[in-house]
Amino acid sequence: MSDDEREEKELDLTSPDVVTKYKSAAEIVNKALQLVISECKPKAKVVDVCEKGDSFIREQTGNMYKNVKKKIDRGVAFPTCISVNNTVCHFSPLASDETVLEEGDILKIDMGCHIDGFIAVVAHTHVLQEGPVTGRAADVIAAANTAAEVALRLVRPGKNNKDVTEAINKVAAAYDCKIVEGVLSHQLKQFVIDGNKVIISVSNPDTKVDEFEFEENEVYAIDIVTSTGEGKPKLLDEKQTTVYKRAVDKNYHLKMKASRFIFSEINQKFPILPFSARALEEKRARLGLVECVNHELLQPYPVLHEKPGDYAAHIKFTVLLMPNGSDRITSHSLQELQPTKTIDDPEIKAWLALGTKTKKKGGGKKKKGKKGTESAETEPMDATTNGAESQE
């Protein structure tokens, strides 16, 4: 076996060290999400809460792998975004932004952490209110959550990506909601947040993706965004875009001094994974980022909006396709939901009744001393809970 092959072999889930790094990143991002939710209060500034999420991830990852010989890169894999009401995604404002949260806001919180390039991402929807969530807000969240639960059961070896796309759209329709177009669930690899194997949210003639089967030892970020509107969000203002990723395959000699300064800072601090312009020197960033984006050196993550009055919900989780079944490593429990719709469709009920672990062949004795190291089988989800049930 060549060194390259050995290197390749060591970097997937067959290596216990890799599994540990994914799970450690997941533990940190789950706690960061918990912290962000607790900081989301009426009149809290969005930028302050986003910064707290990112700082927590930097702090927690900074405490790990301190004393190893070879330096291990670790930290934020996707900057904290809090998108409110009909804003669908990627809102992570600059320090000068004054946007505050209000009672009753529907918040989509999106964030990611990595250890040695092994990435765990999560997104969660939270309504800023006491008591159960009702009406169309409950419908849109239940649609996203039930679609995520169905996806978890269909992203497994032997199934294909097209099945998942069809299933999540069927679930959203049962709640009289739409899956938002243009959202991709990517395979994750070391330092790769947008791997080539993708599940598309809505298939249409303009956006086709290659069909493939899921395989053991792969990792996916399953990304579900639902809307009570048309599910075709628009970019309203390019100035709102603050999240970018270096397009590593592109080069260009920048003309402006500010652009060269910012680009050099990005290459040093954020050579591969997405980052927020908040982490750069703000005045120069505003000038320099435009030229970098115009020449495709950076890939922008635009802030998209549905129409005012529409609600959007977002659930994203990271799943490891282990030999013993699917292991969802990022999640957060939902508030109590009282949707206006219930799931009656027998096919959706059958999907929700599937477990996520593969039964071991042969009824051999369980090894002692292994208690608590493997996560328990995910219970089949009861469709009568109206999509309000969530894996802890």
Q: What is the pLDDT of residue 388?
A: 57
pLDDT digits (tens, 9 = 90+) for 45-94: 999 999 999 999 999 999 998 888 888 999 999 999 999 999 999 999 99
313 CA to centre of own chain: 12
Residue 272 CA to residue 82 CA, distance in Å, equals 22
Q: What is the pLDDT of residue 356?
A: 86
**Positive or negative: CA dihedral 332, 333, 338, 341:** positive
Q: What is the pLDDT of residue 270?
A: 94
The answer to whether the beta carbons of residues 83 and 108 sit under 8 Å apart is yes
The answer to whether the beta carbons of residues 77 and 25 sit under 8 Å apart is yes
Please identify which residue in the block is written with the tokens 């990022």: 330
Q: What is the pLDDT of residue 387?
A: 61
Residue 247 corresponds to which tokens in the numbers above?
A: 């397009």
Q: What is the pLDDT of residue 370?
A: 35
Residue 107 CA to residue 45 CA, distance in Å, equals 13
Q: What is the pLDDT of residue 386?
A: 56
| Average pLDDT across the chain, whole number | 90
Residue 301 CA to residue 87 CA, distance in Å, equals 13
The answer to whether the beta carbons of residues 83 and 316 sit under 8 Å apart is no
Residue 7 vs residue 25, higher pLDDT: 25
Three-state DSSP at 192 gives strand
Mean pLDDT check: name the lowest of 7-21, 23-37, 57-71, 215-229. 7-21
Res. 282 pLDDT band, cuts 50 70 90: confident
- Which of 218, 216, 207, 214 has its CA nearest to residue 184? 207
Mean pLDDT check: name the lowest of 8-17, 135-144, 349-358. 8-17
Q: What is the pLDDT of residue 383?
A: 53
Residue 314 CA to residue 312 CA, distance in Å, equals 7
